[in-house]
Amino acid sequence: MTPPASHAPGFGPFAPSLAGASVLSLMEHRPDAVDAILQSAGILAATPRAEWPQLLTGRMIALIFERPSTRTRVSFEVGITHLGGHAVVLAGRDMQMGRGETIEDTALVLSRMVDAIVLRTGPHATLEELDRHATVPVINSLSHAHHPCQALADALTLIQRFGTLRGLRVAYVGDGNNCCASLMIVGALTGMHVVAACPPGYTPDPEIVAWCNQMGTSTGGGASVTDNPQSGVEGCHAIYTDTWISMGDEQEADRRRKDLDPYRVDAALVGLARPDAIVLHCLPAHHGEEITYEVLHGPQSAVWDQAENRIYAQAALLGHILA
């Protein structure tokens, strides 16, 4: 029998509050739980995958994709496999849920068959309803409101480059979307300050900004918003951006390109940050829109490490929830 995570050699401290927990956003979890996940993720990243502890032996995890996916699907499958578990991949169009079966009924059925459900969807309410009816943990692998798995990988990337998160300043430039919100939340939980440089109409949810600043009173983290990308990136440790046209925004593509054009991450903008600043992007990238090819593929880019770190962050998360 595989030992629990608290006894798994080299896995890091077990976070009891995460055992059997759902993760719809990181706002639901304590700073020490997030710290424990990140410590375990760092250990996994530094360990050859063939030597990973088999924390998920006998565990079945459903991966449901109602939206297209490259990094999320591959990173979850790879991480689950190397921890000894098995991923059951389900496309939304192939499920009865895609043909009218209720979320409640889907949750009740899958809870009898698998040990956790990972869902990539649109409305965050879909995740909340699934979690209400499921008797196994539900993990948000992307919704319109939150992207907690991406934020954990972002934080791990920053730790690898700077050794700590406490005291870092990260500028998020562009559309204050789900990735921006989750980055702010993980920053507040871990002692980072995240400033969102966004045009009017594209700023992150003010309630999330307020929550981050309240949480930051105890952690040293926080969040702020500006409409000036130049002042936003000044002196920052990292510049983060995302696509201007997310899934579901295609009807507004021309307007969004016009509004966000001054917020492109190019060499001039990067030059306003610290000399050792890194560039982050959750991908996929659109060269010449939110980021130039030269910056994305340049020496300050940590984007490819960031993408790989999805494996370690998500594997660590599942390990703490299910082991």
| Among 257, 181, 264, residue whose Cα is nearest residue 225 | 181
257: annotated active-site residue: no
Q: Which of 29, 59, 120, 264 is catalytic?
A: 120
310: annotated active-site residue: yes
Q: Which of 115, 131, 150, 175 is catalytic?
A: 150
Q: Which of 212, 256, 282, 320 is catalytic?
A: 282
282: annotated active-site residue: yes
242: annotated active-site residue: yes
CA terminus-to-terminus distance, the chain: 11
131: annotated active-site residue: no
Q: Which of 147, 193, 237, 281 is catalytic?
A: 147
Integer angstrom CA distances of residue 186 from 69, 141, 164, 248:
23, 15, 13, 25
SS3 287: strand
List, as one string, the DSSP characters of 159-207.
HHHHS--TT-EEEEES---HHHHHHHHHHHHHT-EEEEE--TT-PPPHH
Tokens of residue 41, six digits? 């993720």
* Helix or strand (DSSP H, E) at 224: strand 222-226
Q: Which of 193, 281, 310, 320 is catalytic?
A: 310
150: annotated active-site residue: yes
Give me the active site residues, please.
Answer: 120, 147, 150, 242, 282, 310
